[in-house]
Amino acid sequence: MSVTAAALAELIGAELVGDGSLPLDGVAKIEDAGERKVTFIANRNYLKYLPETGAGAVILASIPEGEEGRRSYLVTDDPYAGFVKVLRHFHPEPAKPEPGVHPSAVVAGDAVIAESASVGPLSVVESGAAIGERTVLLAHCYVGRDANIGADCFLHTRVTVRERCEIGSRVVIQDSAVIGSDGFGYAPGEEGYAKIPQVGNVVLEDDVEIGANTTIDRATLGCTIIRRGVKLDNLIQIAHNVDVGEDTVMAAQVGVAGSSTIGRRSMFGGQVGISGHIRLSDGVMIAAQSGVHKDFGPDRILGGYPAVEIREWRKNEAAIRQLPDLIKRVRKLEGGK
């Protein structure tokens, strides 16, 4: 599929600088792009690669001095958003499976499956469960007793939705994620650890996306809640009775301990750990591999273990790097001991 640079500029609402008739047939990374490919620069740190790229067209916010005339440019205030539109143009979403229940699927007689929904091969839908309009379950999915999945959802292969869990509309769950596994609750006693029944559920509100192999534990009592618009990456663990606020995003391997509340519009880097029974304010950004044990207020940027304000963390890290030289100086002052 080929399209001109002018057509792409019109598609994303960008100003075209250069040859509008240039044919383009796909997208590529800046270091790999050839003359018929389009790439993008959203971070100024990547401008240094611009003279070296072989891309026929580049989406960016402004053209650096000396680069005019070398290729076609699509100039826009938001290059990343423009690139997403171009990516979708060249790689439209694959067609959904046809509605209906695959002959190899096992569906309880009292389960409610919308006529426009699709239940894939070897999937299981238990008694009392409901699947909404246009929702897709690919192969080997499991929907437990009395679980409810809304409209326009897409469950990739091997997804598990356990009993009584509730999923809103337009939810995407990637491969092998588990929604509603038992919370980690045990009571110590003389004969060992007695398992505490986990009788609550998990609620995923509308427009949530859950990454592959992510696990969200059901509440001991009540609900574990993932609120509207939350996006969770792969390999994340959300413990029992956690409440994740609207439009929060978490990168891979984040762990949130039980009964914690995460504010709205928060951003967690990879491998962040949140201790249990704390309530974080809205708009918090947390650097990768940080450990958070308390709230610092809204719209803060945190880093380190234990986490502190990002500027303090950077000062601490800079000081730690000076410790070897400081130790040498102290030993010298002490007479070489």
| pTM of the full structure | 0.89
Active-site pick, 156, 240, 277, 293? 240
Quick check: is 225 in a domain? yes
Instruction: Write down which residue in 42, 60, 90 finishes a domain.
Output: 90
Give the E-state strand segments of 18-139 in sequence order: 23-24, 26-27, 37-40, 57-60, 72-75, 100-101, 106-107, 112-113, 118-119, 124-125, 130-131, 136-137
Quick check: is 267 in a domain? yes
Rounded Cα distance between 300 and 308, Å, is 10
Angle between helices 79-90 and 5-12 (to 10 degrees): 120
Quick check: is 269 in a domain? yes
- Find all residues with CB under 8 Å of 7, minimum gap 6, and list them: none
pLDDT of the chain along its 337 residues, tens only? Answer: 799 999 999 999 999 999 999 999 999 999 999 999 999 999 988 898 899 999 999 999 999 988 888 899 999 999 999 999 999 999 998 888 999 999 999 999 999 999 999 999 999 999 999 999 999 999 999 999 999 999 999 999 999 999 999 999 999 999 999 999 999 999 999 989 999 999 999 999 999 999 999 999 999 999 999 999 999 999 999 999 999 999 999 999 999 999 999 999 999 999 999 999 999 999 999 999 999 999 999 999 999 999 999 999 899 888 889 999 988 888 888 876 5
Domain count for the chain, please give it. 2
- Find all residues with CB under 8 Å of 121, minimum gap 6, and list them: 102, 104, 105, 139, 140
User: Are 65 and 191 in a shared domain?
Assistant: no
Based on the residue annotation, tell me whether 240 is a catalytic residue of this protein: yes
- CB count in 10 Å sphere of residue 199: 13
Rounded Cα distance between 9 and 121, Å, is 42
The residue among 120, 130, 115 whose CA lies nearest residue 155 is: 120
Tokens encoding 266: 């928060």
**What CATH number does residue 14 fall under?**
3.40.1390.10
Domain extent at residue 300: 174-337
Longest dimension (CA), the chain: 86
Rounded Cα distance between 168 and 100, Å, is 20
Classify 299 as helix, strand or coil: coil
Quick check: is 182 in a domain? yes
User: Are 210 and 318 in a shared domain?
Assistant: yes
Asked if residues 233 and 252 have their Cβ atoms less than 8 Å apart, the reply is yes
Instruction: Write down which residue in 90, 109, 133 finishes a domain.
Output: 90
Quick check: is 13 in a domain? yes
Rounded Cα distance between 336 and 332, Å, is 5
